[in-house]
Amino acid sequence: MHTFTDLVLLIGTNPLPNYVVAEYFLKTNKELRNIWLVHSEEVARQVGTRAQAEHLEKVLKERHPGNSKLPFPLPKVALSNVSNAKEVLRDTNEKLIRRLPENSRVHLNYTGGTKAMGTHVYRAIEQDTARSLVKSFSYLDGRNFQIVGDKNGIINERDLRDEISISFIELITLHGFKRKNKDTDSKDFSDAINVFKGLIDEGRLDEYYSEDGSYNRTHFENKKKPGDLAKKAAELKDELKSYIAKDPFLSVIKIMPEDYQLFDANGRFVDPSSNKLCEHAIKFLDGGWLEDYIHTILLHELSKSNITVLKDWKIDKEAWTTDFQIDVILLKGYQLIGISCTTSQEKHLCKNKGFEIIHRTRQIGGDEAKAVLVTLLDDFQKKALKEELQLNTGITSGNILVLGKDDLKEGILIKCVTDFIHQEV
């Protein structure tokens, strides 16, 4: 058991490893009295990480409101030039070591920050003799989900993902993001989802997107903005009024909640009662059903394994002009698995979706985050797309999973996703 009074964390652009280490020692070390946040100062040619330190502090404070032994605000140490060894040594001595209470037992976790930052802060603490400090050191092994001490090796007994958890709102808060949308209170589409499940099980999903009276996206595009789906009845193309819906598209329509049924029992278009209902129905019919289908199956199965399953989060940051969306979110402890769904069968469009989900999951969850792209591609295209994504992004096979239409049956889907979650990154 590691016991020390002062934990020193190096704050880089991704504060998640710092959170994991802090939470672990807050949970296991009753002697902990201070957490020191060492960050870079924002100056010319150097990006500051004080904001990341403050985000970490905010999450820790909200998680431990009754911890009277841990002082808030947490003490912060600004390094004026992380590339200059002499300046890092000077700042560490003046702003950290000399401020440590008498009889401190100090522990440095050097996972975060730059390599130079870690090297020279480590050296300053290790070589100090003036304060007669009791010193220990560790790093977070992200690939194996372990905290490893320099002297005695692995510190945690179990997989850290089973010991340390984080909510998704806390995870995005660490990075200064916020949620833009809210959970919707829309009608229950589970019966319609079951129709899609039947089509998938019978190998008939292609019939839904065929051109002989089943779903045809061009009819539901905004007549003034080709490529964009209509959000209002007035934006729908006029030829929709002469279009006759047929099975299996019509079988989905018939079982949807009545207010969302855009066609009657004979397959003729019916004007929706509101633009909001119209937009929601079109989004579901076009491809929203796939997101709901994936979420429904994984929620039922993975919740048994204490994996958090969420759906449809739009995320942005202050001063951003755009936002981004993650269709389905899985959290195993603190590890993020982000899922993007697309019904497009054009590989280049699927590839763009792949780039996006890889970038966003790593942006929020760090190098250990994983990305899943769910498509309707065949096996050959699916495998080719995965190879291209790996080649173009440099990520490993353990960080990206591409699924195609033959992977959508419930049993296959669950096995693919669970195997991927447990696969080494």
**pLDDT given at position 271:** 87
**pLDDT given at position 187:** 66
For the stretch 95-147, pLDDT in tens is 999 999 888 999 999 999 999 999 999 999 999 988 878 999 999 999 899 99
Position 1 pLDDT exceeds 60: no
Residue 186 banded pLDDT, cuts 50, 70, 90:
low
What radius of gyration, in Å, describes the C-alpha atoms of the chain?
26
Cα angle, residue 231 at apex, residues 229 and 237 outer, rounded to 5°: 60
- Per the CB < 8 A criterion, the answer to whether 164 and 335 are in contact is no
Q: Round to whole Å and give the CA distance between 387 and 381.
A: 10
What is the phi/psi pair of residue 270, to 5°?
A: -125, 130
User: Each residue of 362-378: b (16+ CB within 10 Å) or e?
Assistant: bbbbbebbbbbbbbbbe
Q: Round to whole Å and give the CA distance between 288 and 300.
A: 19
- Per the CB < 8 A criterion, the answer to whether 106 and 133 are in contact is yes
- Per the CB < 8 A criterion, the answer to whether 311 and 291 are in contact is yes
Give the CATH number of domain 6-163.
3.40.50.10770
Position 166 pLDDT exceeds 60: yes
Task: Kindly give the residue spans of alpha helices, DSSP state H, lying in 131-268.
Answer: 160-163, 168-174, 190-201, 205-208, 249-255
3-state secondary structure of 227: strand
Average confidence (pLDDT) over 201-207: 95
**pLDDT given at position 132:** 78
For the stretch 270-328, pLDDT in tens is 988 899 999 999 999 999 999 999 999 999 999 989 899 999 999 998 878 889 999 99
User: Each residue of 276-285: b (16+ CB within 10 Å) or e?
Assistant: ebbbbbbbbb
- Per the CB < 8 A criterion, the answer to whether 146 and 52 are in contact is no
For the stretch 33-49, pLDDT in tens is 999 999 999 988 889 99
Position 76 pLDDT exceeds 60: yes
Average confidence (pLDDT) over 362-367: 92
- What DSSP assignment string belongs to 393-425? H---GGGEEEE-GGG-SHHHHHHHHHHHHHS--
Position 253 pLDDT exceeds 60: yes
Assess if CATH 3.40.50.150 describes domain 290-422: no
pTM of the entire predicted model: 0.94
Averaged pLDDT of the chain: 93
Handedness of CA 77, 23, 15, 60 (dihedral sign): negative
Q: Where are the domains of the chain?
A: 6-163, 190-286, 290-422
